[in-house]
Amino acid sequence: MTRYTRVLGRMAAAVLLSCAALGAQAAGPLKVAFVYLGPVGDGGWTFQHDQGRQGLEKAMGTAIKTTYIENVPETADAERVLRQLAADGNELIFATSFGYMEPLLKVAKQFPKVKFEHVNGYKQATNVVTYEPIFDQGFYLMGIIAGKMTKTNTLGFIGSFPIPSVVRDANAFILGAKSVNPKSTLKVVWASTWYDPGKERQAAETLMGQGADVLSQNTDSPAGIQAAEAKGKYAFALDSDMSKYGPKAHLTASTENWTDYYVQETKAVIAGTWTGNRATRWGLKEKMVVMAPMNVAVPADVVKMVEDKKTAIANGSFDYFGGPIKDNTGKERVAAGAKLPVGDYMSMNWYVEGVEGSVPQ
Amino acid sequence: MLRLEPRTSPSHAMAIASPVIAAVAMLVTGFLLFRLLGKDPVEAAYIFFVKPLNSSYGLGELLLKATPLMLCALGLGLGFQANVWNIGAEGQLTMGAIFGGGVALWLGDSSTWWGLPLMLVAGVIGGMLWAAIAAWLRTRFNTNEILVTLMLVYIAQLYLSYLVHGPWRDPAGHNFPQSRGFADAQTMPLLFDGGRTNWGFLFGLILAGALWFFSRRTYAGFRLQVAGLAPAAAAYAGFSEKRNIWLALLISGATAGLAGICEVAGPIGQMQQQISPGYGFAAIIVAWVGRLHPIGIVLASLLMSLLYLGGESGQMSMALPSAITGLFQGLLLFYLLAADLFITFRLRNVRTTGQPDQAPAAPVAAASSGGPGATPLESSP
Amino acid sequence: MSPFVPMVQSTVVAATPLIFAALGETIVEKSGVLNLGIEGMMLVGAIAGFAATLATGNAGIGFVAGAAAGTAMALIFAVLTISLQTNQVATGLALTLFGIGLSAFVGHDLAGMPLPGMEGVTFPVLTSLPLVGELLFHYDPMVYGSIILLIAVMWFLERSHAGLKMRAIGESPAVAHSIGHPVVLIRYLAVMFGGATSGIAGAYLSEVQTPMWAEGMSAGKGWIALALVVFGTWRPGRVVLGAYLFGGVTVLQLFAQGIGLNVPAEFLSMLPYAATVVVLVIICRDPKTILLNQPASLGRSFYPGT
């Protein structure tokens, strides 16, 4: 085996020498790598991360060199890709999907000097940190707009999969709506996919057919916006500003700005101040969650209301998951004056009052 | 002018040369493509085909990635020989993972010697059961197996999704769609230290030998082959078509199921929403590139695996788009199929004698020209 | 508002690409050729249609481009399977893989760009009728195009001389050849027609259904179209009915969720696939229906001799 490897290694070296293009990699700029679940052109989640990567390049100039690899499935392949990136001399690696968690932890053990950053995960290590946007803050604000804009008092939510963060988004959305319009209810349809434009469109049409006139989604394609535009209804986008897909329908979007975080982390690595075992959750305050420009159809007083709540959420003076909160079976989940325990927040699998149906268990 | 005409007997030289021709043609196309993209073709070729292999870890990954492809393709190849078109190995793989993984979760932390073998058996049974649905519908109701196996892929994947979002969710996992990790006793032993290649690869090699023996040396294997090459002769000889269909589907389901459990009990180590990036479909190409022959399939699975690794390497080192892998895989198969023509046909220089190139007079029905004369949608009379 | 109307509308839009692809494949299979590459042809059609519409601003040109791209893909298939006698199943699968890769490769920089989408046709009086207008006269031009295609295909297969010839070839190329029918030419034409309609089906996805380009956006519809051909026992009318049924079940399962039916979403999502299998079983149960309708030479290579 070893001899074989050596022979192959020598062959490889020969080929390497013959390629003039391959110069020796001098130890210079910090190598930063990004692992993407989808294609960079998905117009949503991965696209936005790549915007962050480009923002990082712009901010750091020649001090860094970035690499990205797209369409990495959350299968056995993820471990190889992560390991390869680490072996290739990348010192900071951003893994931008939840499903990379276990492979990432394995690779991190093998490469203690490489720093790993994992989005949406919950396991940290000395060289692994997690980071995530507080999506639900954006959904709460969108809920306020929805509650004001709805005429049927029926809102719609196109869900991907019933995981806690998505359930949280739906809950925050209806809490926002009910804060301004107690009569509003939310219908949820699970598309069982993160990305299938055809199915997302059908889900949107179904919700509108059942009376929903303002839609939100946590699936990735702009199909829901397009469907709402075609039917003259309203919709919110996620991840990216999708107003170009439905200028009339698109009320606003809860988007992510990853650049600041990526710059902060990269600078920390360069300065040698990067530490492991951290979990970063950034929201409106840190501007990781950014609201896209609002549609002109949103009345000025609603815009003001949203801005006020945004400030209140950002400075910590307002918590929409603060009690009293009942779930949709009438059971009290958070007592008046109490806060939602972090554990319940992290693993939320119940709907608040106003959502129809129940979370698939 | 040049004309195609059938050879009197298939050319053995061409049978061996044609994969080589196909690979060379793919390389040439690749060179042109890289040129077009403004990349240095030599460097690209190095990064695509050599760099992934220049470490022992890389070689291990080659074998690891080849394992599910090989396992699925070996079974499929056998079925294709008999004109049984199982397109849904992906679904059988998923079911194998579900059955085997279910056993692993049931065993929990217990470390018994029989745990892992039981998981493997369960995985095989899962794959077989899923394929058996197609076999039963085909033999009992004449339902086309291409479509049934394919629809069952979607159903199996959705079922897996249901399980990891619901009953099999790790209670300590914040309701994320993952099961608990399998205990060490429930994971596949590695072949070498430092890599991820596990016993699954050995299973593949053993299976290749066994299937070679089965097709060449057993009566059941002979029946399958006759059924593929000359269905009429098989019927005349009284070979039961139903038995062949059952056999072909059960074997290919079993190997795909084994691939599934080897994947979850191997490099993945838990149940999760996605376990295969499409091995079951890619295995169809592997079976074909390997000329449906066990040894050919072993080699073809290594080649396909290299294309995947090369695609990743090309992205990392040259920022090539990931779509290139699929492009290469499709091209490779096109070229191979085209080159295969010359196994049963040859080019001859025919002198044109004033006669226009008009419709020929004597019709020759080509019953079985090169490989199985596919009759996939045909139902049993 | 009654949910009935939007459900029907949603179903029609969902079924239209399936109809285009499946009707084309019906012709291909009736000529005795099995092309499993619909998914690949659809995707290439989708990106071609999208790019052309983006460049020219004209959806019609987009559909022509989609059809042309689909035809070009089908031509590769035709050269390989008809002229070079390669195995049709394997070649079709290769075409699908190639198409997925090619479309993703070509469309890499076009992802995330918006298209305006296609305006609905307005029929005088009819569109404004209550209910009937909503249900029947409220769609984009391609929906009506799919119905016209259905009529054309029915006429071609049942009434036209050329159609008769083509069916004869599908039944027995050797016999058709011996009485002087140009087997190779007609099969080429049939395969290319199938490519064109698959290309249009793809362009419908990227121009009308969800006016955008995304990798792999056909999401398995090519395979469903293939199933619909058998489902419809190679009869155009039944194929179209099958497409509406499939679209309907898909919409129905989402609808069931919307009214709060307490069944895991995954099981509901399985419904369209399970329903396809069940209907296939019902149709195929009697071997005669298949034997009577399936082209006898389907999937077999034909070598016209020297």
Write out pLDDT tens, residues B187-209: 888 888 778 888 999 999 999 99
Distance CA B172, CA C146 (A): 52
pLDDT (tens digit per residue) in C117-152: 677 777 777 777 777 777 787 788 899 999 999 999
Residue B372 lies in a domain: no
Using a CB–CB cut-off of 8 Å, the residues of A that contact C are 39-43, 47, 156, 162, 187-192, 195-203, 205-211, 221-223, 226, 229-231, 240, 244-245, 356-358, 360
Smallest CA–CA distance, residue A79 to chain B, in Å, is 9
pLDDT at A65 over 90: yes
Supply B134's token pair.
């197609």
Q: Where residue A133 falls among pLDDT bands split at 50, 70, 90?
A: very high
Contact B371, C87 (CB under 8 A): yes
- Whether C155 and chain B come into contact, CB under 8 Å, resolves to no
Cβ pair A197:C217 closer than 8 A = yes
What residues of chain C lie within 8 A of the CB of A199, using their CB? 219, 250, 254
At a CB cut-off of 8 Å and minimum separation 6, what does B353 contact?
none
CA C228 to chain centre: 9
The neighbours of chain B, by the rule of 3 or more Cβ pairs under 8 Å, are A, C
Whether residue B96 is predicted with pLDDT greater than 50 in this model: the reply is yes
Query: B128 lies in a domain?
Result: yes
Cis peptide bond upstream of B171, omega within 30: no
Local structure of residue A355 (DSSP, 8 states): B
Q: How many CB pairs under 8 A join B and C?
A: 211
> C126 by DSSP, 3-state: which?
helix
- Give me the residue label for tokens 């093998």: A110
Residues of C with Cβ-Cβ distance to B376 under 8 angstroms: 34, 88-89, 298-299
Q: Any idea how long chain B is? A: 381
Count: domains in chain B:
1
Domain membership flag for residue B32: no
| Maximum Cα interatomic distance, chain A, rounded to a whole number of Å | 75
Domain extent at residue B76: 41-346
The pLDDT of residue B376 is: 36
Distance from CA of C24 to the nearest CA of A (A): 21
pLDDT at A130 over 80: yes
Does the CB of C177 have a partner CB in chain A at under 8 Å? no
Residues 168-227 of chain C with CB under 8 A from chain B are: 173-174, 177-178, 180, 182, 215, 220, 223, 226-227
What gap in Å lies between CA A41 and CA A45, rounded to an integer? 10
**How many other β-carbons are positioned within 10 Å of the β-carbon of residue C145?**
17
Largest Cα–Cα separation, chain B: 83
Q: Which amino acid is at A202?
A: Q
Q: Which has the minimum average pLDDT: A351-355, B40-44, B92-96, B219-223?
A: B219-223
For residue B350, the model assigns a pLDDT of: 63
Taking CB atoms and an 8 Å limit, are B359 and C99 in contact across chains? no
Residue A3, pLDDT above cutoff 50: no
Mean of pLDDT over chain A: 87
Helix (H), strand (E) at residue C11: helix C4-30
C-alpha B201/C-alpha B258 separation (Å) is 11
> Closest to A73 (Cβ–Cβ): which among B50, B166, B277?
B277
Torsion of CA B337, B339, B342, B348, to 10 degrees: 130
What gap in Å lies between CA B307 and CA A207, rounded to an integer?
A: 43
Nearest-by-Cβ selection for B373 from C223, C285, C301: C301
Most confident of B47-61, B88-102, C136-150, C231-245: B88-102
Residue percentage of chain B with pLDDT more than 70 = 91
Residue B358: the pLDDT is: 41
Q: Is B96 within the bounds of a domain?
A: yes
Q: Is residue B199 part of a domain?
A: yes
Half-sphere exposure of C58 (CA within 13 A, CB side): 5
State the pLDDT at residue B365: 36
What is the C-alpha to C-alpha distance for residues C298 and C306, in angstroms, rounded to an integer?
23
Q: Does B281 touch chain A (CB under 8 A)?
A: no
Domains of chain A plus CATH, in order, are: 28-133+258-282 (3.40.50.2300), 135-255+321-346 (3.40.50.2300)
> Distance between CA atoms of B46 and A48, rounded to whole angstroms?
32
* B373 lies in some domain: no
CB contact under 8 A, A73 and B274: yes
Q: How far is it, in rounded angstroms, from Cα C280 to Cα C23?
A: 17
Rounded distance between C-alpha atoms, residue C159 and residue C152, angstroms = 10
**Contact at 8 Å (CB) between B6 and B308?**
no
- pLDDT tens string A149-201: 999 999 999 998 888 889 999 999 999 999 999 999 999 998 888 888 888 98
Q: How many Å lie between the alpha carbon of B350 and the closest alpha carbon of chain A?
A: 45
Q: pLDDT per residue over A224-234, tens digit each?
A: 999 999 889 99
Q: Is residue B219 part of a domain?
A: yes
Classify residue C44 by burial, with Cβ atoms within 10 Å: 0-12, 13-18, 19+: buried
Edge-first strand listing for the sheet containing A128-133: A64-69, A30-35, A92-95, A115-119, A128-133, A279-282
Q: What share of chain A is helix, strand, coil (3-state, %, to 5)?
A: 45, 20, 35
CA B240 remoteness from chain centre? 26
Burial of B110 (0-12, 13-18, 19+ CB in 10 A): exposed
| Chain A residue whose CA is closest to B174 | A347
Decide if C297 contacts C172 (C-beta within 8 A): yes
Calculate the CA dihedral of residues B140, B141, B143, B148 and round it to 10 degrees: -70
Res B369 pLDDT > 50: no
**CB atoms B378 and C274 under 8 Å:** no
Q: Report the C-alpha gap between B230 and A130 in whole angstroms.
A: 61
Q: Which of A40, A226, A248 to probe the C interface (max C CBs under 10 A)?
A: A226
Residue C151: per-residue pLDDT:
96
Helices (H) and strands (E) in chain B, counts: 13, 4
Q: What is the Cα–Cα distance from C158 to A9, expressed in whole angstroms?
A: 66
Confidence of residue A134 (pLDDT cuts 50, 70, 90): very high
Tell me the per-residue pLDDT of B112-163, one tens digit each, with 9 for 90 and over: 889 899 999 999 999 999 999 999 999 988 888 888 998 999 999 999 999 9
* Tens of pLDDT, residue by residue, chain C (306 residues): 477 888 888 899 899 999 999 999 999 999 999 999 999 999 999 999 999 999 998 889 999 999 999 999 999 999 999 988 888 888 898 899 889 989 988 888 887 777 776 777 777 777 777 777 777 877 888 999 999 999 999 999 989 999 999 998 888 888 888 888 889 999 999 999 999 999 999 999 999 888 888 888 888 899 889 889 988 888 999 999 999 998 888 888 888 887 777 778 888 888 888 988 888 888 777 777 776 777 878 877 777 664
Q: Find residues 21-80 of chain C whose CB sits inside 8 Å of chain A.
A: none
Token representation of residue C191: 């395969």
How many angstroms separate the CA of residue A347 from the nearest CA in chain C?
19
Q: Which of C36, C227, C294 sits opposite B151 (nearest CB)?
A: C227
A237 half-sphere exposure, CB direction, 13 A CA radius: 36
With an 8 Å Cβ cutoff, is B184 touching chain A? no
Cα angle: A124, vertex A128, A130; to 5 degrees: 65
**What is the domain-level CATH number for residue B310?**
1.10.3470
Q: Give the residue on A whose Cα is nearest the Cα of B265.
A: A76
- Tell me the nearest-neighbour CA distance from B184 into chain A, angstroms: 14
CB contact under 8 A, B176 and A163: yes
Residues of C within 8 A of A240 (CB-CB) are 112
Domains of chain C, each with CATH number or no CATH: 4-293 (1.10.3470)
Report the range of poorest mean pLDDT among A45-54, B193-202, B224-233, C81-90. B224-233
Per CB-CB distance under 8 Å, the chain B contacts of C264 are 162, 165-166
Residue to mutate among A25, A42, A69, A195, with most B CBs inside 10 A, is A69
More confident residue, C62 or B9: C62
Q: Which of B50, B175, B275 sits opposite A163 (nearest CB)?
A: B175
The residue in chain A having the minimum alpha-carbon distance to the alpha carbon of residue B321 is: A70
DSSP B213-248: HHHHH-HHHHHHHHHHH-HHHHHHTT--HHHHHHHH
Confidence of residue B351 (pLDDT cuts 50, 70, 90): low
Which residue among C250, C261, C262 places its CB closest to the CB of A202?
C250
For residue B310, is it within any domain?
yes
pLDDT band at B354 (very low <50, low <70, confident <90, very high): very low
**Which of B50-59, B294-303, B313-322, C115-124 comes out lowest in average pLDDT?**
C115-124
Cβ–Cβ below 8 Å for C251 and A198: no
